Structure 1
C-alpha cells in the first residue's frame, strides 16, 4: 500500500466510519479475533478533511448519523458511494500494533475528482444505487429498482444495459437478450447515437456465455465495424472488442487468428490506458500462453515476463493475476525441460493462491497438498542419484497433469 501513496481511491459503496479512534481499533481487533486470524495485519484508516472546502460545495459527501444510529456510542460518520480520497501516508503504530493509513477527503472541485467524474457514465442517483446493489450481489433488488426506473425514465438505454448485466448474473439469458433488443431500439431511434456498438457487444457477450460462439462472433464483428466507423474512436472499446474476438478464436483453436486479435487489442489498449496497465498485462499473458501452445517458448517467455513486470509494479505482489503469470511461466519452463525453474515458479503461484483463499475454503487442502508436493520435488531435484531422478520425473508428470 505504501507504493500507492500520493494516489487517489474511490469507494463504490457506503463507508461507515467512527469519530472515536478507540472504536475503530476495537472493531479492527474484534474482526481478526472473530475470524480466528493470526496471520493478518490490523489496519485503521485515519480520514482527514478540509471542512472549509467541503462547506463550499453544494453537498457534503458524508453525514454524522450518531443521532439516528442504534449504536450512538460508535459516533458514526457515513460516507456516500463515490467519495474520493487521497492516500497520504502509511505507517505502523508501535503502541497499538496497528497500521495507520492516512486518507484525505478530496475537495469537490479538485482536478482528480473532476477527472474521475468525467470517466464515469452519466447516472441518476437511483441508477447508481442499483449498480451498488448489483456489486453487492443483490440482483433481485437491483432488478426491481431498475424496472421502476425504466417505467419513469425518458432515456432508459443505460437502464436496459444494467438490466442485461443483472439477467446475465442470474443466468436468465432469454430476458437478457430481450433487454438488449429494447436498448438497441432506443439507440437506433437516436440517429446520432455513437454508442450503438454497445448493444451489439452486449449481444456478443450473452451469446458467448450461451456457447453460441458463431453468433457471438457475428455481433462482435458488427460492434467492431461500428466502432471503427466513428470519427472520434473509442480506443478502449475497440481494444475490448478485439479482445473478445480473440478469446473466441482461441476457444475454437484458431491460434493464429487469436494472436492477431490480441495484438490488435494490445495496440489499442496501450494507447488508451498506457503501456503499464494491468489490462495490458493480461493481454500479454494471453499472447504468452498462446505462444507456448505453439511451441514458441522464447516468444512465450518474452510476453509473460513483460506481463509480470507490469503486474509487479502496478498490482499487489499477492494478486491473483501475478499468481497466474507465475504459473504460466513455470509451464513454459516445464515444456523446455527446465524442471527446477518450473518448480520455482509453480511454488510462487500456488503460495499466492493459497494466501488468497479463506481458511474454510474447500480448495485449501488440495493447494496445501500441492505446495508440499512441490517442496518434496524440489528436494528430490537437488539429489543426483539416478533412482531419485526417475522418481522425480514420475511425480512431476503427475503434478503437471493435475
Structure 2
C-alpha cells in the first residue's frame, strides 16, 4: 500500500447535520464508529451516496479522504485492508478505520447531477498530532473521559449515547464490586445521572446524595467536584418542582465555585442561569433578571460572540421582561437571541420556533 492514498465513503446525511458540517468547513470532524471506506469511487458514489438522495430529508455525501500512513502511525490511528472479507468480494477494496478517526474538512462542493441537487462531495484530510487543533481536541477528549477509568469510562460512554438501561445495569455491577470510596462516589454519580435521564428523580437524588456524602469526607470543603454534586442535586429538585430546595443546592454550588474557579469561568455562568430559572419559576422576576444578566455578563467574556448559549441567555431575559410587562425590552432581547441563532444554528433547528413564537 502506498504511503499516501485516497479512500471514499458514500452515505446519507440529514439536512440539519449537513448544514452544521458546512458551518465547520476548515474544522475537524470524527466518525463515532468503525469507519468503512473504499478505494473504489464508483461503488461509494453509485451504491451509497446517490441512493441516499431518495430520502427527501437527506443529502447524498461522497467523502473523499486523503490518507497519509505516516500520520496514521504517529497519531496511533489504526486501519486495515479488509477487501477479502468485504461484501463486494474484492471489488470495493474496503479499508476499515478505527472509531473516532479525526479528519479536517478541506472542501465542500456540489456534485452536478441531472436528477438531484442534493449530491455533495466533501474532501477530508486525515488529522494527526502535527495538527494544533487535533492536539487540543484529543486533550479535551482525554480530560472528558479520564475522570473515571476502565469499565467506569465505558459506563460514561453509554450514558452519553443515551443507553440508559445498559448504563444502569453496568453501574450497579460496578457499585457492587467497588473497592474504594472514590469508585463508590463515581459510580453513584453515574447511576444518579442515569436515573435523572430516565426521569426517576427520587432515585437520582438518592444516588447523587450518596456520592456527595463520600466526597465531603474525601475532598477539601471548597473542591470544584463538590460544587458539581450540589448542582446535580439542584437539577433534580428543580425537575421535581421543589424550587426552594433547588435554590439552596444551586446557591451552595455557586458559593464553592466562587472560591474554587476563576471569576469568569463558564460554570459560574451556568450556576447563575440555574438560579435564574428557579426564581423565574417561583415568580420572583426581578431576582431572575438579576441572575440571568449576571450569567450573560460572564458568557460574554468566556464564550465566542455568537455562541448559542448567549442566545439562550437573551431569550431567558426576554421571558422575564415579558412576564414583568416590559414588552419593548422583551422584544429587544428576543430579537437579539434570534439574530445569534441565525448565525450559530442550522436553519431548521427547533430553537427558531421558540424565538419566532416569543416574538409573535
TM-score relative to the length of structure 2:
0.62
1:102 to 112, 120, 124: 124
Aligned twin of 2:32: 12
CA distance in 1 between partners of 2:236 and 2:111 (Å): 55
> Once the 2 structures are TM-superposed, how far is the Cα of residue 92 of structure 1 from its aligned partner?
4.1
- Does 2:58 match 1:65? no
Gaps of 5+ in 2: 1-20, 113-118
Aligned twin of 2:349: 356
CA distance in 1 between partners of 2:156 and 2:255 (Å): 31
> Once the 2 structures are TM-superposed, how far is the Cα of residue 247 of structure 1 from its aligned partner?
1.7
SS at match of 1:223: helix
CA distance in 1 between partners of 2:30 and 2:55 (Å): 27
SS at match of 2:277: helix
Aligned twin of 1:333: 321
Is the CA contact (8 Å cut-off) linking 1:18 and 1:74 kept in structure 2?
A: yes
Number of aligned positions between the proteins:
313
Deviation digits for residues 20-64 of structure 1 (CA, Å, limit 9, x no counterpart): 455555544542x222148x7x7654433331343578x752223
Higher helix share: 1
- Does 2:234 match 1:246? yes
CA distance in 2 between partners of 1:34 and 1:93 (Å): 20
1:80 to 98, 104, 107: 98
Is the CA contact (8 Å cut-off) linking 1:239 and 1:268 kept in structure 2?
A: no
CA distance in 2 between partners of 1:183 and 1:269 (Å): 30
> Once the 2 structures are TM-superposed, how far is the Cα of residue 98 of structure 1 from its aligned partner?
4.0
CA distance in 2 between partners of 1:94 and 1:16 (Å): 23
Deviation digits for residues 260-319 of structure 1 (CA, Å, limit 9, x no counterpart): 144257558956xx935xx665444323323434222541341453476489739975xx
CA distance in 2 between partners of 1:22 and 1:70 (Å): 15
How has the CA–CA distance of structure 1 residues 244 and 114 changed in structure 2, closer, same or farther, with 3 Å as cutoff? Answer: closer
Is the CA contact (8 Å cut-off) linking 2:223 and 2:256 kept in structure 1?
A: no
Is the CA contact (8 Å cut-off) linking 1:6 and 1:86 kept in structure 2?
A: no
CA distance in 2 between partners of 1:199 and 1:94 (Å): 48
- Does 2:176 match 1:166? no
CA distance in 2 between partners of 1:23 and 1:314 (Å): 43
CA distance in 2 between partners of 1:227 and 1:104 (Å): 42
Aligned twin of 2:14: none
Aligned twin of 1:396: none
Aligned twin of 1:229: 217
CA distance in 2 between partners of 1:235 and 1:29 (Å): 54
Aligned twin of 2:284: 294
SS at match of 1:77: strand
> Once the 2 structures are TM-superposed, how far is the Cα of residue 331 of structure 1 from its aligned partner?
0.7
Is the CA contact (8 Å cut-off) linking 1:284 and 1:306 kept in structure 2?
A: no
Aligned twin of 2:296: 305
Aligned twin of 2:265: 275
Deviation digits for residues 125-173 of structure 1 (CA, Å, limit 9, x no counterpart): xx96x98788777x6xxxxxxxxxxxxxxxxxxxxxxxx75265xxxxx
Higher strand share: 2
SS at match of 1:81: coil
TM-score relative to the length of structure 1:
0.56
Is the CA contact (8 Å cut-off) linking 2:208 and 2:233 kept in structure 1?
A: yes
Aligned twin of 2:183: 195
How has the CA–CA distance of structure 1 residues 111 and 194 changed in structure 2, closer, same or farther, with 3 Å as cutoff? Answer: same
SS at match of 2:126: strand
Gaps of 5+ in 1: 140-163, 169-175, 358-363, 378-402
CA distance in 2 between partners of 1:327 and 1:103 (Å): 39
CA distance in 2 between partners of 1:315 and 1:222 (Å): 39
The CA RMSD measured in Å over matched residues stands at 5.0
Deviation digits for residues 175-199 of structure 1 (CA, Å, limit 9, x no counterpart): x5xx756533422xx35x5322124
> Once the 2 structures are TM-superposed, how far is the Cα of residue 114 of structure 1 from its aligned partner?
7.2
CA distance in 2 between partners of 1:338 and 1:117 (Å): 46
Higher relative contact order (CA 8 A, sep 6+): 2
Aligned twin of 2:4: none
> Once the 2 structures are TM-superposed, how far is the Cα of residue 334 of structure 1 from its aligned partner?
0.6
